[in-house]
Amino acid sequence: MPVPASVLYPPFNIVRLSHVEYRVTDIERSRAFYVDTLGLQVTDENSETIYLRAMEERGHHCIILRRADTANVGYLSFKLFDEPDLEKAAAYFTAKGQPVEWVDRPFQGRTLRTCDLHGIPLEFYVKMDRLPWIHQNYNLYNGVKPLRIDHFNMFSPDVDASVAFYNDIGFRTTEYTEDAETGKCWAAWMHRKGGVHDVAFTNGTGPRLHHTAFWVPTPLNIIDLLDLMATTGWIDSIERGPGRHGISNAFFLYIRDPDLNRIEIYCSDYQTVDPDHEPIKWDLRDPQRQTLWGAPAPRSWFEEGSVFDGVNLQESALKAQPIIAP
Amino acid sequence: MPVPASVLYPPFNIVRLSHVEYRVTDIERSRAFYVDTLGLQVTDENSETIYLRAMEERGHHCIILRRADTANVGYLSFKLFDEPDLEKAAAYFTAKGQPVEWVDRPFQGRTLRTCDLHGIPLEFYVKMDRLPWIHQNYNLYNGVKPLRIDHFNMFSPDVDASVAFYNDIGFRTTEYTEDAETGKCWAAWMHRKGGVHDVAFTNGTGPRLHHTAFWVPTPLNIIDLLDLMATTGWIDSIERGPGRHGISNAFFLYIRDPDLNRIEIYCSDYQTVDPDHEPIKWDLRDPQRQTLWGAPAPRSWFEEGSVFDGVNLQESALKAQPIIAP
Amino acid sequence: MPVPASVLYPPFNIVRLSHVEYRVTDIERSRAFYVDTLGLQVTDENSETIYLRAMEERGHHCIILRRADTANVGYLSFKLFDEPDLEKAAAYFTAKGQPVEWVDRPFQGRTLRTCDLHGIPLEFYVKMDRLPWIHQNYNLYNGVKPLRIDHFNMFSPDVDASVAFYNDIGFRTTEYTEDAETGKCWAAWMHRKGGVHDVAFTNGTGPRLHHTAFWVPTPLNIIDLLDLMATTGWIDSIERGPGRHGISNAFFLYIRDPDLNRIEIYCSDYQTVDPDHEPIKWDLRDPQRQTLWGAPAPRSWFEEGSVFDGVNLQESALKAQPIIAP
Amino acid sequence: MPVPASVLYPPFNIVRLSHVEYRVTDIERSRAFYVDTLGLQVTDENSETIYLRAMEERGHHCIILRRADTANVGYLSFKLFDEPDLEKAAAYFTAKGQPVEWVDRPFQGRTLRTCDLHGIPLEFYVKMDRLPWIHQNYNLYNGVKPLRIDHFNMFSPDVDASVAFYNDIGFRTTEYTEDAETGKCWAAWMHRKGGVHDVAFTNGTGPRLHHTAFWVPTPLNIIDLLDLMATTGWIDSIERGPGRHGISNAFFLYIRDPDLNRIEIYCSDYQTVDPDHEPIKWDLRDPQRQTLWGAPAPRSWFEEGSVFDGVNLQESALKAQPIIAP
């Protein structure tokens, strides 16, 4: 997989994924999930909206919960490096023929809204309110003790096209799955911030958000969360794990929020800042790419995802995901 | 579940489970599993037999691997408190009508051989060669870093009868599963040494050995073993886990040796030395007794076990184990 | 070190250490330490007394905090096996010339009060109120997530005499430190419940309680507690650790409660149920017996301890503890 | 602490620290330390030189051990983003009046050699041989299971001047200690790769290398290494720890190689990729900046460091480091 020049010298500088807006149907129940169970910290809330951050984050929020009649995902947001990058981004997407608008978002500066090739709503900003650090306020730690948002994973009806789109704006592929029969890319993990991924795409009806992931330091955090969820009424929200992916070497747990949005809790990751960091290629027929060891994933994990507000779905032209049935 | 007087004042004093003899068909392959992969220490070996101990054990062996044409289990062995207990045991089993003989076993003193109600070969001894302690020889630690043998788990065609038999010789029930429809005991965990169990019984065609368990201190030992097995050719030997049982609160992993004998790696346990320690009762219909959280067990885990050398099988009169299918 | 017959066949059957009464000068501050910081669970409280248990314990209490004008230790309590053991114990101590009385203690049955050779107040009982198990109530876990009380450690002005006294009532030595110059026992670890110790004695002005220990499963529990204490105003209460003792292989932390009573948080332990379990002998000059690795202990750790209410101190005839100064 | 424009828009693009050359007097003994004890992997060796990498690294080496008559540090090496950056770096240092030469180094492309303001030999390259990934070769993991080189820490005779020099080439300060009395910067942590630091400077006679650090995922890796070193003849090589620094929140261990070069094993770190990530300021009088909890550092840790080959030392004009004596 050759690295396009745009990955090394992108048209504008995306620093990292920043946050996601979930439109939720029962905000109190969502609060119980994200705050009381996962341990995210509330940074602002009113009857309509709750802003959350993880323990090492200094930016104001990494998740926004917004009350809505129908559950879906509002948008994915990314942080840019500097003010000129905002202008470059606006010019870039306009030239590409994507819709572009400037929107007001509380707690952050000027924000550009556009969408990707399949319609995923993307927002870009440079400045967000910075909060006092709470990394060493150990009395606040609870739940899974989440340290930071790590990545978004999405279903794409055409992963090759998604990879090209995100390559063009500087995302570099670190690992990918190829269907040897067709030569098509089945899934790809792409980063900006120097880890395995900020965004990932898997073949399937889309665009849909497969999951948002949070980083924790050790598998014991995940085991603590499982014990807590299993004994406080959240057992049906545990979907898959714990286990280790071959891809990314991640020790993982997948859980579902009250609207069935999927959250991954994730540890292990590796440094990918070298510009000549070679992507790892996996074969679609290799079951260890999905699960290095341990139980197979349930069907829901392969099939279910969150739709984006107002975005139409397209089916993939590729065959269905080969489910490794238990 | 009332505690019979024999549990408090048994006819002879069993200290703990001691060791198991596995009759194996490819002793080199078994060595690769138990020594190179699990990390048990060889204390004696020749072309026919390998003796193994875990890291904190001072006794000569907790597993004997013996070359055989057909794979099965030779016997289960238990340590008695003092020499008079051997005589009392011989008298007890003789009075009960069980077969009794004195056998010679290397590295240990006078040994009594008998069998339980369903024919499981049981051996009892008082003295075994004591070896230098290697608990702090950290350069020897590898694999899962097993600290000690913990328990035997068996299929019984009549768990109520097994519980009665082992109650009579001093084993106390710590947890059990009851079939509310029939009032029958479906499974029971019974101890001598002050933890959750030395022996356990589950309803099923038997007698068969479901597994032998080793104790490790943290889930991370188990995750290390999974990573090792998954990348050194042992992935098909991983059967179930990691997960947590509701029963016993154990964090577990089940693996299969080259002859398909099942080994559990186990952490968490709790102290049960109080004579008024109340057993915990679980309902057969409660899925969390099997798996507090996480993936369901594969069918093999419910159905497969190791036969004892020369012992006939009986079917259980109870309905089949309710498999919680994935 | 030969094992006296009384260890194998004691005059009465002590099951395990049970609880300690601390007489505290600021009960609210003590509550903040034991409940809000360590994470022990309140089982009963009023303005004068707080009863606490650890997470896996079914007995009503392992620590009693009692309001007092002067901080000291009320007594150490032990659980006996059965009612006849209470009578045997009363007869035994009476015959030995120790003071014997029957006292009323809430939440437990008939209680015998006596003292050891140096005056340490000892209490014995058979029955204590049993509470619902909370081992799997993971939402209650906090602080260091203490699982159970593990042992008492005491300064003795004559360790050889203390060992003889406790040998006589069935405590078995698992490890000990000998002063090669004098042949005297400098320190000894002695158990009833099948681990490294229920009680330990170290040479020094006594009798004084050096510490009470709680068992946790992994070093990460201890690191979590250190982070919490260091950032919630308890940093001066951290005395020593984390580190590993050569003796007992314990990973340890020593902290001080508001009255300077010392609490050890402890993980690692090993099974000692074999009646022929050989004690490990350490040389007083071996610095690794104290600290297998890591920083030396502060002077306070060698010198300070809690006095028992109304008990006179005696100096040891042996030279002062050789402090391995940093 | 204002962020200079050169941090956001540096004259050339340094990706990360890359490797260090240690000139060692007993290469077999050094091999026993780095390979057999720490667990680094040999990627090339002959009688004069050993090349090592950590488990997740794809580049050929992160440490070079070179046989020498006198122990010291050859140079510190950094990876640049692209070929033009090499030319820009050469032009930059030439313009600054620093010595510049092109040197040949095995296993890597064209290499620029210069030095910093105090004479620390610095090398820059773009391409190094890339090796097959061994991140999931779990059978190779041993010792502390080091995942990657993390940072260099140096004594500087003028930290303010060092910070200015490294700011000019794009290093951003993440945390620093200020002497409130003098307004001088006492110590600073500076990054390129998005973590707490690639390089750090502390006031003292210099330039000297205080330590090179390796990243591991959990404190348990560090405890395993301590147990191993303490029981395999390396106990005198343990200098400080385990503990947690207030600064960087690092859980740390400091050990010394056979030539007394100091190695830190380090876990915890946090993401610092935001260009508006505010540095954390610590007061020189705050003892928790050094040790959030736990034992004070020994004098050697404050005073000893490795000299660079052929580089003269200068004393700092500031007062001596305030040692928090135990």
CATH number of the domain bearing residue A222: 3.10.180.10
Structure tokens at C277: 């379990």
- CA distance to partner chain C, nearest, from residue B114 (Å): 22
Residue A255 reports pLDDT greater than 60: yes
With CA atoms as reference, report the closest residue to D147 among A251, A271, A273, A244.
A271
pLDDT band at residue C10 under the 50/70/90 scheme: very high
First to last CA, chain C: 32
**Do B127 and B221 lie in a common domain?**
no
Q: B295–A295: do the CB atoms touch at under 8 Å?
A: yes
**Residue C294 sits in the same domain as residue C150:** yes
Mutate to test the interface with B, among D56, D138, D220, D227 (most CBs of B within 10 A): D138
Model pTM score: 0.97
Alpha helix (H) residue ranges in chain A: 5-8, 27-31, 83-96, 159-168, 219-230, 299-303
* The pLDDT value given to residue A264: 98
Q: Measure CB to CB from residue B242 to each of A235, A242, A292 and give the nearest one.
A: A242
- Is D66 domain-assigned? yes
A200 with A79, same domain: the answer is no
Residue A233 lies in a domain: yes
Domain boundary among B77, B97, B131: B131
> Do residues B53 and B115 both lie within one domain?
yes
The answer to whether C174 touches C280, Cβ cutoff 8 Å, is: yes
- Token readout for D7 is 């941090």
Task: Say if CB C275 and CB C165 are below 8 A apart.
Answer: no
* Residue C38 per-residue DSSP state: S
A99 and A154 part of one domain: no
B299 inside domain: yes
Query: Is C103 a residue whose pLDDT tops 60?
Result: yes
Among the residue ranges A149-163, B6-20, C76-90, C279-293, the one predicted with the least confidence is C279-293
Residue A180: its pLDDT value, please?
Answer: 87
Given a contact cutoff of 8 angstroms between Cβ atoms, the answer to whether C77 and C152 are in contact is: no
Q: Which of A253, A240, A213, A257 is nearest to A296 (CA)?
A: A240
Residues of chain B with pLDDT under 50: 324-326
Task: Kindly determine whether residue D15 and residue A273, on different chains, have CB atoms separated by under 8 Å.
Answer: yes
Closest-CA residue of C relative to A139 is C228
Whether residue C270 and residue B59 make contact (CB cut-off 8 A), yes or no, is: no
Query: Containing domain of residue B111, as a range?
Result: 5-131
Residues B33 and B109 in one domain: yes
Q: Which amino acid is at D179?
A: D
Please tell me the distance in Å from D229's CA to the nearest CA on chain B: 9
The first and second tokens of residue D73, run together, are: 């540090």
Residue of C116, C109, C90 whose CA lies nearest to C12: C90
Rounded alpha-carbon distances, angstroms, from residue D213 to D92, D176, D235: 28, 18, 19
Task: Say if the Cβ atoms of D138 and B220 lie within 8 Å.
Answer: no
Task: Decide if B186 is inside a domain.
Answer: yes
Residue A4 has pLDDT above 70, yes or no: yes
Is B219's CB within 8 Å of A223's CB?
Answer: yes
The residue ranges of chain D whose pLDDT is under 70 are 320-326
Inter-chain Cβ pairs, chain C and chain D, closer than 8 A: 67
Position A320 scores a pLDDT of 63
**Contacts with B56 from chain C: Cβ below 8 Å:** 270-271
Q: Which of C107, C192, C274, C288 to mutate to test the interface with B (most CBs of B within 10 A)?
A: C274
Give the contacts of A85 (CB within 8 A, at least 6 positions apart): A12, A13, A14, A124, A126
In angstroms, the CA C58 to CA C56 distance is: 7
Tell me: pLDDT of A14 over 50. Answer: yes
Q: Is B188 found in the same domain as B73?
A: no
A184 and A271 in a common domain:
yes
All residues at 6 or more sequence positions from A37 whose CB lies less than 8 Å from its CB, including other chains? A143, A225, A228, A229, A232, A234
Total tally of structural domains belonging to chain D: 2
Domain-terminating residue out of A130, A165, A191:
A130
Residue A319 has pLDDT above 80, yes or no: no
- Looking at CA atoms only, how far is residue D27 from chain C in angstroms? 26
d(CA D241, nearest CA chain B) in Å: 19
Size of interface B-D (CB pairs under 8 A): 27
Has residue A123 got a pLDDT over 80?
yes
Of residues A287 and C61, more confidently modeled: C61
Cα–Cα distance measured from residue D192 to residue D190, given in angstroms and rounded to the nearest whole number = 7
Is pLDDT above 70 for A151? yes
Which of B38, B40, B42 minimizes the C-alpha distance to B257? Answer: B38
Mutation pick from B139, B226, B228 vs chain D, by most beta carbons of D within 10 Å, is B139
Inform me whether the pLDDT recorded for A246 exceeds 60.
Answer: yes
Instruction: Name the domain boundary from B131, B163, B194.
Output: B131
D155 and D255 assigned to the same domain: yes
**Residues C250-301 pLDDT 10s:** 999 999 999 999 999 999 889 999 999 999 999 988 888 888 998 889 999 9
**Residue B86 in domain:** yes
Q: Does the residue D112 lie in any domain?
A: yes
Residues C107 and C169 in one domain: no
Identity at C145, one-letter amino acid code: K
Q: Residue B286: phi, psi to the nearest 5? A: -85, 110
Residue B274 has its nearest CB partner, among C79, C273, C274, at: C79
pLDDT tens for A172-194 read 999 999 998 889 999 999 999 99
User: Residue D320: what pLDDT?
Assistant: 63
Chains that touch D (3 or more CB pairs under 8 A): A, B, C
DSSP label of C287:
G
Q: What's the rounded Cα separation, in Å, for the pair C138 and C78?
A: 28
Quick check: B70 contacting A, CB < 8 Å?
Answer: no
* Same domain, yes or no: A57 and A152: no
Mean per-residue pLDDT, A297-308:
96
DSSP B138-159: GGG--TT---EEEEEEEEES-H
Judge whether B315 lies within some domain. Answer: no
Q: Does residue B173 sit in the same domain as residue B125?
A: no
A224 to chain D, minimum CA–CA distance in Å? 16
Segment 218-257 of chain D within 8 Å of chain A by CB: 218, 246, 249
User: Who's near D56: CB < 8 A, 6+ residues apart?
Assistant: A270, A271, D133, D135, D147, D148
Q: What are phi and psi of D57, to 5 degrees?
A: -80, 140
Q: Cα(C131)–Cα(B216) distance, rounded to whole angstroms?
A: 29
pLDDT band at residue A322 under the 50/70/90 scheme: low
Q: Does some domain include residue B110?
A: yes
Chain A contact present for D139, CB below 8 A: no
Tokens of B44: 């004696």
